[in-house]
Amino acid sequence: MSNQSDAQPVGVEPTIPVPYSSVPPPPPPGYYYAPRPVPGRGLGIAGFVLSFFVIGNIVGLILSIVALVQSKRAGRGNGFAVAGIIIASVGVALTILVIALAVPAFVDAANTCARLGDGVHTVGNSTYTCTPTSFNVSTHF
């Protein structure tokens, strides 16, 4: 008599165990491996966000440049870094322009108040209100 646990069903071939392999099996159809992360993407996004703020323009520009260099070394693109560089560059240029125009105006107002002394003075279309610690200029057209 034979043992029933050793019996194979008729017409079914025994399965042979597959040896282990160091290569993982391919994914089933319809599934894909996750794409590799883009180096510098996080820095690019941070630089892009900071480029919208006047105080963060220079930091955003630096972060975006670093992110773009990291991405290019990996052979990948980084749109956020490129956009951050463009926006931050425009922001830095506008900030420099505003400072270049505002500083001489403030210096001129301070010199005029120093020359005129304390009090309220009208020079041309401008009224200077000068105190020992501050000044105010209002222009009337």
Q: Where are the domains of the chain?
A: 38-139
- pLDDT confidence of residue 140: 81
E strand map for 1-141: 119-123, 126-130, 135-139
- pLDDT confidence of residue 5: 57
pTM: 0.63
- pLDDT confidence of residue 18: 59
- pLDDT confidence of residue 21: 62
Amino acid making up residue 32: Y
- pLDDT confidence of residue 35: 75
Output phi, psi for 33, to 5 deg: -70, 150
Where the chain has pLDDT below 50, the residues are none
Amino acid making up residue 2: S
- pLDDT confidence of residue 82: 96
- pLDDT confidence of residue 13: 65
With contact defined as beta carbons under 8 Å apart, do 95 and 54 qualify? Answer: yes
- pLDDT confidence of residue 10: 66
